[in-house]
């Protein structure tokens, strides 16, 4: 195995939805969880994920674990998965998303 095939990385993104009412945050997070699962299935290098709500910040965190992917492509792949999941969770309606922060770390 090459070094990239043996490496694991986790990317966590904190997402804010300025137009989403605070009382809908948990409902949307549940829908987003299902949508991330579906979107991640298209990428065999994504081996785990999580979706969680930070009520204090009013954000939703999405985490993706990548195994065997060149780190140069992880952020772009994560963007695609998250964008696809947000679109699916919102029923195809436009939803303004602000990525508050993103961190890629070896796992």
Over the stretch 84-95, which tens digit does the pLDDT of each residue have?
A: 999 999 998 888
Q: Do the Cβ atoms of 10 and 63 come closer than 8 Å?
A: yes
Give the start-to-end residue ranges of the domains of the chain: 3-106
Q: Can you tell me the distance from the alpha carbon of 22 to that of 26, in angstroms, rounded to the nearest whole number? A: 8
Displacement of CA 8 from its chain's centroid (Å): 16
pTM: 0.89
Tokens of 42: 């298209």
Kindly report the CATH class assigned to 3-106: alpha beta
pLDDT of 83 over the 60 cut: yes
Tokens 């985490």 sit at which residue? 63
- Mean pLDDT computed over 73-94: 95
Q: Can you tell me the distance from the alpha carbon of 35 to that of 58, in angstroms, rounded to the nearest whole number? A: 20
The stretches of 41-106 forming alpha helices (DSSP H) are 71-89
**Banded pLDDT at 3 (limits 50, 70, 90):** low
71-89 and 25-40 are packed helices; what angle lies between their axes, rounded to 10 degrees?
A: 130
Model confidence over 8-54: pLDDT tens digits? 999 999 999 999 999 999 999 999 999 999 999 999 999 999 999 99
Strands 98-106 and 46-54: unpaired
Strands 46-54 and 59-67: antiparallel
């Amino acid at each position: 195995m090459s070094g990239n095939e043996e490496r694991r990385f986790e990317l966590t993104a904190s997402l804010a939805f300025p137009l989403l009412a605070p009382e809908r945050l948990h409902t949307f997070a549940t829908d987003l969880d299902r949508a991330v699962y579906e979107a991640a299935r298209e990428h065999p290098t994504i081996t785990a994920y999580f979706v969680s709500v930070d009520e204090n910040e009013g954000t939703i965190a999405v985490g993706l674990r990548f195994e065997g992917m060149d780190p140069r492509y992880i952020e772009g792949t994560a963007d695609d998965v998250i964008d696809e999941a947000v679109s699916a969770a919102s029923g195809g309606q436009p939803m303004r998303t602000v990525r508050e922060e993103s961190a890629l770390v070896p796992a």
